[in-house]
Structure 1
């Protein structure tokens, strides 16, 4: 996942955007940080889904084959 410093910076920029507004460079930084966060989140979520097993009520593994 993302480092705690980057997450804190994302939150700080979000708060400032709601209160005082952001400069152009801060908006660009916010956009880049959000994109990085989303990429890592999607990658982690995809990996988690790929490792899920589906078991039917009879206890048989009915996991679809991976592409």
Structure 2
């Protein structure tokens, strides 16, 4: 996980999860936990989307079968010449 933001928020998310199981959270901590989780999921989705957009897919015969939508995005980003 190379994302600096995720590296910063994951320990706090885990800390709040452990505290929730052991003694419960205050209302403020519940709000913080929800915001951190929302930020985590948004960042994860963004990173995953970027990975998918960089990927080329080939069938077992070596023919490229990358979706047209992904090819279009790759062309727009200057990642493809075709």
TM-score, normalised relative to structure 2: 0.72
Alignment counterpart, residue 61 of structure 2, candidates 38, 50, 58: 58
Structure 1 unaligned spans of 5+? none
RMSD: 1.5
Between 1 and 2, higher relative CO (CA 8 Å, sep ≥ 6) is seen in: 1
Q: Could you say which structure has the higher helix fraction?
A: 2
**Paired positions, count:** 67
Structure 2 unaligned spans of 5+? 73-82
TM-score, normalised relative to structure 1: 0.86
